[in-house]
Amino acid sequence: MTTKFRFVAYRDFKRTLGKINAVVECAELATRKFIHEAEHAPNRNEFVQRVSSEFKVRVDTLDVPLLKRQIAQFHIASVHQEFEAFLKDVARELRSELVQRSAGESLLKSTLVSLIGGYDKAVNAVGRFEVDVAEYYRLVRNGFAHAGAEGAAKKNVDALRKLVEKQGDSFSRLNAPNIYSAIEFDDFILFTRVVKQLANNLCQAARPTDQEILQMVIRLNETSHHNVSFRKLVSQNPAPARLRRALVGLLRTLYSLQEDESTPIIELLMCGPLA
């Protein structure tokens, strides 16, 4: 059965990515305008000094290729940080503890193995394309964040590009992925789309059992997280039929569950903590 289930962490992750996208798009627009005006100025150095003085931001020289690459790398790093935060949040949400990982193993690999089973099985479940692209940009991020680690980002980008081209127009029209030394805005777009898709696939492949979802809701009640309160639910919905309707809405809001999928969990709640 195809599940509609999504972790609470997924909704939070999508919201955060939306905020990052909005900021990055504005930053990219401003950067392109600045570079365009500098490249078309009669004297680039005089233009840079004039704008620097006007906006009181000291800029001594303009290295366009370096500016483009490093801004794109900053964007990649920000998305990677939020993606790893999502993976950690999923583990906490499901099991109240972080995934243990071996030395040198990526958090993504450890999470897939822990939540789904063997690595090959997990990759098949969430998508080889998504995993390969996400792992490539993890290496790009490491190369940017850690001095001397750029070599780790050397990968057969041509092979990755062929995978991208097979994914349809929303991916194939992008000029990405690129080698570490040529990372650009399209790499940010590709990485963002891929981790969003990967997160969605993970929710489906690692869908908790009804009993596990029951325990997840109980923990939310105990911590009053996301405004979950059994006491408030019961007091506001004293009749069983009305309480069931309220629980349908709650499970849809928390986990995107439709009524046919949430009904068994509602029965567990009605016979257990809400009895």
Scan for tokens 């599940």, then name that residue. Answer: 3
Among residues 179, 205, 231, the one where a domain terminates is: 205
**200 is a domain residue:** yes
Among residues 159, 181, 205, the one where a domain terminates is: 205
Write out the DSSP string of 17-86.
Answer: HHHHHHHHHHHHHHHHHHHHHHHTSSSHHHHHHHHHHHHT-------HHHHHHHHHHHHHHHHHHHHHHH
**91 is a domain residue:** yes
pTM over 0.85: yes
Same domain flag for 158 and 40:
yes
Among residues 205, 232, 250, the one where a domain terminates is: 205
Write out the DSSP string of 95-147.
Answer: HSSPPP--TT--HHHHHHHHHHSSHHHHHHHH-HHHHHHHHHHHHHHHHHHST
Domain that holds residue 245: 210-271
Same domain flag for 136 and 174:
yes
Same domain flag for 197 and 232:
no
pLDDT tens for the chain, 275 residues long, are 579 999 999 999 999 999 999 999 999 999 999 999 999 999 999 999 999 999 999 998 999 999 999 999 999 999 999 999 999 999 999 999 999 888 889 999 999 999 998 899 999 999 999 999 999 999 999 988 776 556 656 677 888 999 999 998 888 899 999 999 899 999 999 999 999 999 999 999 999 999 999 999 999 999 988 889 999 999 999 999 999 999 999 999 999 999 999 999 999 999 999 98
Same domain flag for 126 and 47:
yes
Same domain flag for 192 and 70:
yes
* DSSP letter assigned to residue 239: S
Same domain flag for 115 and 214:
no
Same domain flag for 171 and 98:
yes
Same domain flag for 173 and 197:
yes
Same domain flag for 167 and 241:
no
Domain count, the chain: 2
